[in-house]
Structure 1
Amino acid sequence: MQLFSLPLNHGGVVTGRVLLPLNPPASQFLPLRVCVHGGSYDSEYWDAGSYFITQISDALHIPVVAIDRPGYGETTPPPPLILPQRKR
């Protein structure tokens, strides 16, 4: 899988990995497999021993994208949550 970095309008960034099939079909419509890691991991989880993901992508001729959740990998963490003050 290849690393990617996508800049966002507010100055943040979303990172992850992408795997494109070796021989994509000529159709203009392709499904896309999107992988999201669990807590304490990042998109490398889907690339570690990528044999399984590579097999699926190549066999079905579909691209795979694994994104890093906010605060993981090089993806920008979410901004701090600011709660409104309650009147007393």
Structure 2
Amino acid sequence: MQPFKINLSDGATITGLLSLPPIDAQARFVPLVVCLHGGSYDAEYFDATPESSIARVSDALHIPVIAINRPGYCETTPLAASSNQDETS
């Protein structure tokens, strides 16, 4: 899988990994698999080793896969603090 980094117009950044295999030109529809890791992991969870990488499935089925880093992980911008705090605090 290849790393990617997208800089958004509001200054935020999204990072992750992607696999874009050649797609069958005859295919009418092609699914996109979007992977989102759990807590204490990052997008590399889906590409830990060549033997266990989701890229193998992506390549075999000719389906693009994107693994996004959650806010605050790697170089992905953290979420802003919430303005909806409990007023009784």
Q: TM-score range by the shorter chain?
A: 0.7 to 0.9
The two structures have a TM-score, normalised by structure 1, of: 0.84
Which residue in 2 is equivalent to 1:62? 63
| Inter-partner Cα distance in structure 1 for 2:38 and 2:85 | 30
Identity value in percent: 52
Q: Which runs of 5+ in 1 are unaligned?
A: none
Which residue in 2 is equivalent to 1:40? 40
The two structures have a TM-score, normalised by structure 2, of: 0.83
Runs of 4+ in 1 over 2 A off after TM superposition: 83-86
Q: Which runs of 5+ in 2 are unaligned?
A: none
Q: Which moved more, 1:4-13 or 1:24-33?
A: 24-33
In structure 2, relative to structure 1, the CA distance for the partners of 1:85 and 1:40 (3 Å cut) is closer
Q: RMSD of aligned C-alpha atoms?
A: 2.0
Aligned residues: 86
Residue type matched to 1:24 in 2? I
Residue type matched to 2:42 in 1? D
In structure 2, relative to structure 1, the CA distance for the partners of 1:83 and 1:49 (3 Å cut) is same
